[in-house]
Structure 1
Amino acid sequence: MNRALTLLGCVAVSSVMIQSQTASDPTVTAPSAAPAVMAPQIPIPSGPFGIGRTGYDWTDNSRPNRYSTDQQAHRELMVYVWYPTSQKDAETTGAYLPAAKQMDAIPDIQHRMQQEFEGNWPLIVSGTIASHVSDSAPVARNPKHFPVVFFSHGSGGTSFESTSLIEDLVSHGYVVVAIEHTYTAIAVAFSNGKIVLQDQGPADLTPQQRFQRMMAGAAAGISEGAADIRFVLDKLTELNSADTQHFLLARRLDLNSVAAMGHSAGGAFAARACQLDGRFKACIDLDGELVPVAALPEYPDGKTIQQPLLFLEAYHPESRMGGTHAQIEEYYKKKEEQLQSCPAGSYDVVLKSPGIFHGSFSDYPLLAAAGNADATAMALHNLHLTQMFVRAFLDKYLKHEKEPLFESKEFHAEATIQQYGH
């Protein structure tokens, strides 16, 4: 069997299996998705910088749109660049999800977004749930150059569901380039008002047929996600040498200090981009394990990750990993083999904190807590753990700072840290 053919399907199936813990496993206490009682609040970023954001609508003319019947159509992406500003004000608010009002006005899209965000969708549309963004605000004057992190969301999601993680990185001096992967994202709103929904195939497919269709397109899906990341890096390289009239961050990006990061299926996109492109100096895979096949993508070209890797995952009991005992044993053997082949300075960090699950790397548990104090505290704690390990890894490899976290025993009760590399 070609492993690449199963990867994206495994990510999606594993995500469903893992998230289903919240309904049936008493050891997981993620909050109920009841209608919101209080509006959840995105935490104030911990760093000294304010948050700016600007969106770009870019088309890769070298790649056809494989979902279109128009042979002249090419791959189009919305890309949101989050960047540090000098002015940090806890009162600053911006849209949590740009174009939410436009999406809400279209019944089919409204229905999809209500399924994704449940009782919080009206609060997102109204702006009651907000980010700390000041759109198109002036870029911080210092430092002169910023390291860059590319972020990819999971299947059926959106990068805006990772606002807390993105804002925290930006507040500490990183530019985060969040790609809305068209047809993989739940919905993408383009600058001309067009909104493209996730490709789910014909409406009359049975669940089994939908699964088979997803499996058949897995290799192409991961390749396309990786190509999206590399295209956006190409575009930013071009714009970084332009003038500020054409690009807000012209000459401010340190493109020698670039990382790729993704959550769930986006983790596979990031990993594949790093396998193919040495311009990325570090790679972060957030709970993107490809159970029960492999930890990282494998293709016939045999390419492996050449950058230090942070494989940051939630602990999942075998009963929730979507495979037989024999398959899971083979998965762990394969995972060990793949991680051993990574460069020195790579880490596998398994978070074991209370309530941790696949969605904990995003804002989902915080939003679903609906103001419940205990559930909110748990969600914030797990977000903090994620942010702490992600930022420490990036500080080490993009800012070249001494970072003792991975050798510390302070968090061993909540995290198992294993160093890898040859």
Structure 2
Amino acid sequence: MRTFDLLAVILVLVDAVLLLRFRLAGSLQRFILVAVVLLLVAHLVAEGARWQMAPAYLAALLLCIAGTGIAPQGNVSRIALISGIVLLGIASIAFSIVLPVFQLPDPTGKYAVGTTTLELTDPSRVEDAGSQAGTKRRVVVQLWYPANPSGKPVARYMKLAETFALTSYRSVVPTNSRIDAPIATDGAPFPLLLFGGGWRGRRTESTFLTEDLASHGYVVAAIDHPYNAHRVAFSDGAVVDSTITAAIGGSFDIAPPAFIQAWDKELAKWIADERFVLDTLLAMNDDSKSRWFHQMNPNEIGAVGHSFGGSAAVGICSEDPRVRAAVNMDGYLFSALDERSTGQKLMVILEGARVYRSDNPLDKALGTYDFAKLDESLRKFGGYVLFVDGANHEDFSDQPLMSPFRRISQAGTLPAAQTHAIVRAYVQAFFDEALLGQHSALLEGHSHPYVAATFERWTSDDPPPMSMTFPITPPGASDLNSKK
């Protein structure tokens, strides 16, 4: 629990116990009630209302009733009322422990971080998932960027309109970014990175990474893809929920090529969204009237994404020569590698146990096929593969921060702080080298400080590296992916 709400709940509980035991009255009771009210007001102003604290709000109201003599005075009624207050206070503590107002890790770079949100409409494309014929495709884009220190408001993790009842508390979670902070005056033009979240995900889902990259001098543009993204809220009041199905393409046991063909239709839409966003940002970069005039380097562009967003990152890098490098964080590749050519840098980051230990039918259908295509591309064009042992799929997002209970957070056995530190270090090192030409010893593959990381550096026409410490071929599958 956060500072003000924890103090308020503790004071409610203490006052309830004192009322039960000593039947406080007069100035002392009024003092305690005023303190409770002031703490709750401070909580609402500084931290924002959220449903986890609703029982505490009710408990404070009942406490006021109990302390003013309005409540029934019989012993049984009094004990029942005060017991209810105590239970409500305990409920708020429990809810706040299970689903806390989580804290994002501090960025590690030299820059402060600014953020701004854009709504963009593509006049060249018609929305094929909307209910109104002829509606143009529009997306929401959030930028994180190097900023000068400022007193601008701290950005919240999500807007209230983007949440559901259970996740509404995320609209009060503070980030490390400030809304519309002035762009940093030194270091421009900055390299530009496109970010994509997961299937039915959201643009803020890996803020642990996007903020950190911005603090190291990158402009990061994260995209919400309407009708796939979990929920997209536009400034005109329109709210678009996901209409896409999880099992697109039918049964998971169909032949991988047919299965992939079905998913490729959505992948093509995501890549088109990213191209449109890139076109728009570069136009802003060339517009002398824009605050982004000459703030981004059109020759230093990369893409990164989690899960399906990782597939899109590889896809746009393969298809658009302006995008020079891509990082896929634990996403299948589908046909994203088909157009890859010389000069397009690639890093793939995977959970250590995703394919070869999994009984998931999707893994069985795609595992060997996907890794065979990846190995073929790595042998031909080179690249990097990073395995994070003890991580789960959601560890490459902010999800592990959202609860200390793994059943809810879907975290792996490796602590989230360690996974995020590994991902931050390797992603930054990769883009520093691929876009900026800055050599990184971390990418040599000889040694590194992370026990849970297994790293491979592939060079074209070289035999596969021998750095693997465990097999990645699914049990029973043909050894198309042998590293021997």
Q: Normalising by the residue count of structure 2, what TM-score does the alignment of the two structures yield?
A: 0.67
How far the C-alpha of 1:297 sits from its partner, in A, is 2.6
The answer to whether residue 81 in structure 2 is matched with residue 56 in structure 1 is no
Q: Indicate the residue corresponding to 2:434 in structure 1.
A: 397
Q: Partners in 1 of 2:330 and 2:399 — Cα distance?
A: 14
Q: Indicate the residue corresponding to 1:308 in structure 2.
A: 345
Q: Deviations over 1:245-290 (max 9, x none)?
A: xx33221111110001111000111111111110011111111125
Name structure 1 gaps, 5 residues minimum.
1-33, 105-109, 115-120
Q: How many residues align?
A: 354
The answer to whether residue 184 in structure 2 is matched with residue 123 in structure 1 is no
Q: Indicate the residue corresponding to 1:358 in structure 2.
A: 393
How far the C-alpha of 1:331 sits from its partner, in A, is 4.3
Q: Partners in 2 of 1:123 and 1:92 — Cα distance?
A: 18
C-alpha contact 2:248 2:262 (8 A) present in aligned 1? no
Equivalent residue in structure 2 for 1:255, among 276, 281, 298: 298
Q: Closer, same or farther in 2 for the Cα pair 1:250/1:368, shift >3 Å?
A: same
Q: Deviations over 1:50-75 (max 9, x none)?
A: 11111111111111101124332111
Q: Indicate the residue corresponding to 1:416 in structure 2.
A: 454
C-alpha contact 1:271 1:305 (8 A) present in aligned 2? no
Equivalent residue in structure 2 for 1:333, among 372, 387, 391: 372
Give, as a single letter, the amino acid of the residue that structure 1 aligns with 2:339. Answer: K
Q: Closer, same or farther in 2 for the Cα pair 1:283/1:200, shift >3 Å?
A: closer
Q: Indicate the residue corresponding to 1:40 in structure 2.
A: 102
Q: Indicate the residue corresponding to 2:313 in structure 1.
A: 270
Higher mean Cα deviation, 306-315 or 252-261? 306-315
Q: Indicate the residue corresponding to 2:134 in structure 1.
A: 72
Q: Residues 42-191 of structure 1 correspond to what in structure 2 (within 5 A)?
A: 42-87=104-149, 93-97=154-158, 99-100=159-160, 102-103=161-162, 110-111=164-165, 114=166, 121-125=167-171, 127=172, 129-191=173-235
Give, as a single letter, the amino acid of the residue that structure 2 aligns with 1:406. Answer: L
C-alpha contact 1:366 1:375 (8 A) present in aligned 2? no
Q: Deviations over 1:115-152 (max 9, x none)?
A: xxxxxx24313x1x211111111111001210111101
Q: Deviations over 1:230-254 (max 9, x none)?
A: 111111111111134xx33221111
Q: Closer, same or farther in 2 for the Cα pair 1:406/1:88, shift >3 Å?
A: farther
Q: Indicate the residue corresponding to 2:336 in structure 1.
A: 297
Q: Partners in 2 of 1:161 and 1:47 — Cα distance?
A: 20
Q: Indicate the residue corresponding to 1:9 in structure 2.
A: none
Q: Closer, same or farther in 2 for the Cα pair 1:303/1:406, shift >3 Å?
A: same
Q: Indicate the residue corresponding to 1:17 in structure 2.
A: none
Residue 161 of structure 1 aligns to a residue in which SS? Answer: coil
Q: Deviations over 1:147-177 (max 9, x none)?
A: 1111011111112111111000001111001
Q: Closer, same or farther in 2 for the Cα pair 1:327/1:248, shift >3 Å?
A: closer
Give, as a single letter, the amino acid of the residue that structure 2 aligns with 1:273. Answer: I
Give, as a single letter, the amino acid of the residue that structure 2 aligns with 1:157. Answer: G
Equivalent residue in structure 2 for 1:381, among 400, 412, 418: 418
Asked which structure has the greater CA Rg, the reply is 2
Q: Indicate the residue corresponding to 1:107 in structure 2.
A: none
Q: Closer, same or farther in 2 for the Cα pair 1:169/1:412, shift >3 Å?
A: closer
Give, as a single letter, the amino acid of the residue that structure 2 aligns with 1:349. Answer: L
Equivalent residue in structure 2 for 1:322, among 353, 360, 366: 360
Q: Partners in 2 of 1:85 and 1:144 — Cα distance?
A: 11
- Aligned identity (percent) is 28
Alignment RMSD: 3.2
Q: Partners in 2 of 1:206 and 1:415 — Cα distance?
A: 31
Q: Closer, same or farther in 2 for the Cα pair 1:331/1:262, shift >3 Å?
A: closer
Residue 160 of structure 1 aligns to a residue in which SS? Answer: coil
Name structure 2 gaps, 5 residues minimum.
1-93, 461-484
